[in-house]
Structures are given as structure tokens and as C-alpha cells.
Structure 1
């Protein structure tokens, strides 16, 4: 997919829920989304997501991962997913996303990385499901309106 069409940027909450047993439903959904996105070679993450994941699972979860285990997961994501760098251009585009579209900065930085990469979808619970901003559509994989068939993630 040279134009990025169909790629899925998996936000930090998807990565974290896959490792957080407190909400079994969200954990199962996150694992399914991760597995299908990786299996179809459409999984994308930003370097920001990898950093946030490491901090959350080692410092903020009640059942924290050991640093070594968290590092292994980050290595797995880095090897299994397309990783988008956070460059000066991404930061500048994020600032524009805040100004023009009213996004919070960290969400804007994820959006900017996806937009500049021509990634079609951002899977996150942190944005309005179905909202499209300059060619990037936000989908909540944990919400009632999420349809895995719409992004070809069905088993």
C-alpha cells in the first residue's frame, strides 16, 4: 500500500489495554485489534505511542510490568508495526492541528504523524468515533459503533 491507504495507527490506549487485565472486554478487543492489524501488516504506531506505552505499563498500572517485560513489548511493537518518527515537521503539523482543528497537543501529534504518513485510520478511544480530519479518520475500537469489517479487521 504505497499511498498508506488502509493503514491503522494504534494509539497508546490500544497497546495498554492489551496488557491491562482490569477490563477484560477492552483487553480482549485490544488484543484482537493488535493481532489482526499486525497479521494484515497494517499496524502502525508513532514513536510517541511506544514511549507512552512504556511509561504507563511500568509506572501507572496497578499491576505494573517489570521494565524488562515492558522493553520486550516495545521491541515487539517496533518489530511488528510500522513506526512513525516524531520529527520537527510532525511537531509543527501538530501545532497546526491544535490551532485549526482544536485538537489537544498530544492527540494532534498522533494525528500529524498519521496524516504526514498518509495513514488512513487512528484507532483510539480518545477522539470522537468517526471524526475525519484532513484524511485521517478516528475510530474507537472499544465503542459500540466500531465495526471491524469497516477497516477489514474481521477474523
Structure 2
């Protein structure tokens, strides 16, 4: 599956900097390393904003400047804003699923970006919707899902 794109949910990026859960931190890092090396990771502006919000609200770093610098590094995976097509798709997804509105916006963006997988701990592992399959990174290793 060359070129298979994987949309990365905010929670996976947060775990990379989680000091309280080293097992999840290492699993999230392993996934991100492979996705970055293979140029498969995708995110959007919503993910970057959610990440910034949590970093600042929980004061994970000594300075907001550090939080902003980390978020800026993740922007290499994408910073596409939501558009009306995403909103329309999210509405359809919301009507079909029990997912929150915010999750539906991310799923819609992943679909618009033509991702095959959606990496998230928060949604139903294995659920396939509109050609997108949700993968819990703490239940699967990247090598189980993607050819390495």
C-alpha cells in the first residue's frame, strides 16, 4: 500500500509528550516515527489548534513559546483549514455515527485528504466509514497495519 495516508488525531500527538504514561508515549512515538519517515502522516489546522489548547491549558511546558514551537513542528504533517465540504461531510457522518461533532469534523477532513486510516484512541477501533478505517495505536503496531 504505497502512499497510504494516515490521519493522526490530536490525542496521539498529545501522548508523545505525556509524562504520566510512558507506555503510551513510546507507542505514539513509534507510530509517528514510521509515519514521518514514510511521509504518510496527515493532520489539519483543527488538530494543531486542539494541541495548542491542551498544551496551554494544562501548562505542559515552562513557556507558551515552547508549546508553540512544538505545534509548529507538527504543522509539517498539514495545516489545512476546514472548508464547507468538510462541514457537509461531517454533518453526514454525525447523522450516521455516535461520534462527537468535533470528531466528525476530523473524520471529514481525513476523508477529504484521501486518508485510508484514522489513528485515534478515542473512536471505535476497526470501524470503517467512507473508506476510512479507525485504528487505535495502542492496540496495533504500525507494522501490523502498514507495510514497512
TM-score, normalised by the number of residues in structure 1: 0.87
Structure 1: give runs of 5+ residues left out of the alignment.
Answer: none
The aligned length equals: 148
> What's the C-alpha RMSD, in Å, of the aligned pairs?
2.0
Partner of 2:131: 135
Runs of 4+ off more than 3 Å: none
Distance, in Å, in 1 between the alignment partners of 2:141 and 2:52 is 29
Please point out which of 113, 119, 124 is paired with 2:120: 124
- What is the Cα deviation at residue 103 of structure 1? 2.2
* 1:1-150 aligned within 5 A: 6-60=4-58, 63-64=60-61, 66-79=63-76, 81-143=77-139, 146-150=140-144
Q: Which structure has more RCO (C-alpha within 8 Å, separation ≥ 6)?
A: 2
- What is the Cα deviation at residue 75 of structure 1? 1.1
- What is the Cα deviation at residue 153 of structure 1? 6.7
Distance, in Å, in 1 between the alignment partners of 2:129 and 2:57 is 32
What secondary structure does 2:138 align onto? coil
Structure 2: give runs of 5+ residues left out of the alignment.
Answer: none
